[in-house]
Amino acid sequence: MIEVNDIHKSFGDAKILKGISTTFEKGKTNLVIGQSGSGKTVFLKTLLGLYTPDQGSIIYDGTDYSDLSTDEKSNLRSKMGMVFQGSALFDSMSIAENVKFPLRMFTKQSKSEMNDRVDLVLKRVNLGDAHNKLPSEASGGMQKRVAIARAIVNQPKYLFCDEPNSGLDPKTATVIDNLIQEITHEYDITTIINTHDMNSVMEIGQKIIFLKDGFKEWEGSNKNIFKTDNEAVTDFVYSSDLFKRVQKMYLEEDQ
């Protein structure tokens, strides 16, 4: 579980996060939604320890990050997996080497232990025979699965995914969403996913926080997001033509 208490983050004079508080439970897919520029990536990078908040605290299973020594911080960081916006694979490394990278960075495992673990997670994401391919030889959906395998290879307690299905067709996007949700449940991970995809909201939005201009404007679940009368949320939810049509359909049914 991650508890976020009143975090603020500015870059120079620009206030980006303006006092966000919430909790993210383990074994759940927690979503952060909001328009482009609302602060989702800055928020996720702050949770990952890449940015230090100017104010407020982040508590990881009872441990306040700011109380930790440098060694303890890097130990905690080794328990975090990250799927970056756009996969961020190393182009010149094979898929297996990409996945192995966190094990080399953070563990002292033997070669065969590492290889076994890489085999296991590649199988888990249905890429059991892609070890020797280069990322450039893989489709967008495969690259996302490699990024997920790399994020979970060191058995993280926390998994952060920034727009994990952007650029994918709707069917492949759903496969990726479901994979992240299954892994979250299977390994009891605290997972936080940035998205602006309403399909993801409906499929895996067990807990959702909605950011607007650096504030948490609303929080809830996919069960109640369609019932809220918060205008910022409804603007966002019904911004796509598809959802406008769905809303119209419901309204017509009610008449």
Ligand X SMILES: Nc1ncnc2c1ncn2[C@@H]1O[C@H](COP(=O)(O)OP(=O)(O)OP(=O)(O)O)[C@@H](O)[C@H]1O
Which residues are at the interface with ligand X (CB under 6 A)? 11, 14, 16, 34, 36-42, 196
Among positions 150-179, residues that touch Mg ion (CB under 5 A) are: none
Provide the minimum distance between the beta carbon of 8 and ligand X in the complex, in angstroms, as a whole number: 13
Q: Which is nearer to Mg ion, 195 or 222 (CB)?
A: 195
Residue with tokens 């709707």: 170
The residue among 2 and 33 lying less far from Mg ion, judged by its C-beta, is: 33
Q: State the binding partner of 37 from Mg ion, ligand X, none, CB within 5 to 8 A by kind.
A: ligand X
Q: Which of residues 22-51 bind Mg ion (CB under 5 A)?
A: 40-41
157 binds, among ligand X, Mg ion, none (CB under 5 to 8 A by kind): none
* Residue indicated by tokens 């489709």: 139
| Residue 30 binds: one of Mg ion, ligand X, none (C-beta under 5 to 8 A by kind) | none
CA-closest candidate to residue 102, choices 91, 114, 94: 114
The encoded tokens of residue 166 equal 């952007």
- CB closer to ligand X, 41 vs 222: 41
| Distance in Å, CB of 208 to Mg ion, minimum | 16
Please tell me the distance from the alpha carbon of residue 54 to that of residue 70, in angstroms, as a whole number. 18
Neighbours of 67 (CB within 10 A): 10
* Minimum CB–partner distance for residue 39 and ligand X (Å): 4
247: tokens are 């809303």
Q: In what order do the strands lie in the sheet with 80-83?
A: 80-83, 158-162, 190-194, 29-33, 207-212, 215-220
Q: How far is the CB of 196 from ligand X (least distance, A)?
A: 6
Q: How many CB atoms within 10 Å of residue 224?
A: 11
**Cross-strand partners of 29:** 191
Q: Which does 87 bind (CB under 5 to 8 A by kind): Mg ion, ligand X, none?
A: none
> Residues interacting with Mg ion, by CB under 5 A?
40-41
